[in-house]
Structure 1
Amino acid sequence: MNIYGSTISLLEQGLNFSSAKGKAISQNIANVDTPNYKAKHVIFNEILKNEQQKPFHAYRTNALHFDFRTKVAQSKVFDSSSLRYRQDGNGVDMDKEQADLAANQIYYNALVDRLNGKFNTLQNVIKGGR
């Protein structure tokens, strides 16, 4: 029996995505002066859109159930091999990386705040509302 639904696991997957994105941004910032370094990016939205366009086939236990299945798409890291921002072949745009870092930090903090709220609710239930 799952007493808290799938919310916590979805928040966990969101935190994993944010962590992978933070690592990629950190690597990009650390290698801003490395010649021929290509910036890395973590994508999720494009993968999700591609998955949503595919037909769904579900395991149904009853003929009256809808025919669909939900799948959680995983994020992937790719490098921008075609982009060059400087003469030395470096593909890191420092302004974009800093903006992405700030947005990712806000996203991460929102997920952690929501996760804390879920755990506080569980703790309140365990204590019997006291």
Structure 2
Amino acid sequence: MDLFGSSTIKSLERGLEGAQLRQKAISNNIANVDTPNYNAKQVSFKHTLSEAMNASNMKAHRTNDQHVEFTTTKRSPVVVTNRGTMYNHNQNNVDIDLEMAELAKYQIYYNALIDRINGSFNSLQTVIKGGR
């Protein structure tokens, strides 16, 4: 029995990895706000959604014949560089207000994921203690 390998915990773990990558990109952007010729970086899941939408081999484990078939494959986010804009005279395109807002947003998202993982572990702890 794999207690920590449940699909819920694995999904939350992948969410944390994505949130961590986003926060790292945002932190790098903030740290380089005054660096000449620095281009802001963003984390993109768009390619993953496109691949999933275009996939023709969608399969899944079905418990009922009326369930829709689909596959689940682990796809990774991609860090992309934003080269289409310029905000500063030194060819730097980091918008500090946007980056700070994004950092706050993803911090809330990260904390929500941590709370869900804690809830999962608390449920396991309750089961181990026999409901006490």
TM-score grouping bracket, smaller chain normalisation: 0.7 to 0.9
Counterparts of 1:1-130 in structure 2 under 5 Å?
A: 1-3=1-3, 5-44=6-45, 46-54=46-54, 55-58=56-59, 67-130=69-132
Aligned-partner SS, 2:73: coil
* Distance across 2 between alignment mates of 1:59 and 1:18: 27
* Distance across 2 between alignment mates of 1:56 and 1:103: 35
2:78 counterpart letter in structure 1: K
Q: TM-score, normalised by structure 2?
A: 0.86
2:52 counterpart letter in structure 1: Q
CA shift for structure 1 position 52: 2.4
How many pairs align? Answer: 127
* Distance across 1 between alignment mates of 2:60 and 2:21: 32
* Distance across 1 between alignment mates of 2:47 and 2:9: 22
CA shift for structure 1 position 121: 0.1
8 Å Cα contact 2:22-2:106 kept in structure 1:
yes
CA shift for structure 1 position 117: 0.2
* Distance across 2 between alignment mates of 1:16 and 1:67: 27
Aligned-partner SS, 1:32: coil
Deviations 1:10-54 (A, max 9, x none): 00000000001111000000000000000011112x123202222
CA shift for structure 1 position 58: 3.6
4+ aligned runs moved over 2 Å, structure 1: 1-5, 56-60, 64-68
- Output the aligned Cα RMSD: 2.2
* Distance across 2 between alignment mates of 1:70 and 1:29: 35
Deviations 1:62-92 (A, max 9, x none): xx69653122321110111222111110010
Is there any run of 5+ residues in structure 2 with no aligned partner, and where? none
Q: TM-score, normalised by structure 1?
A: 0.87
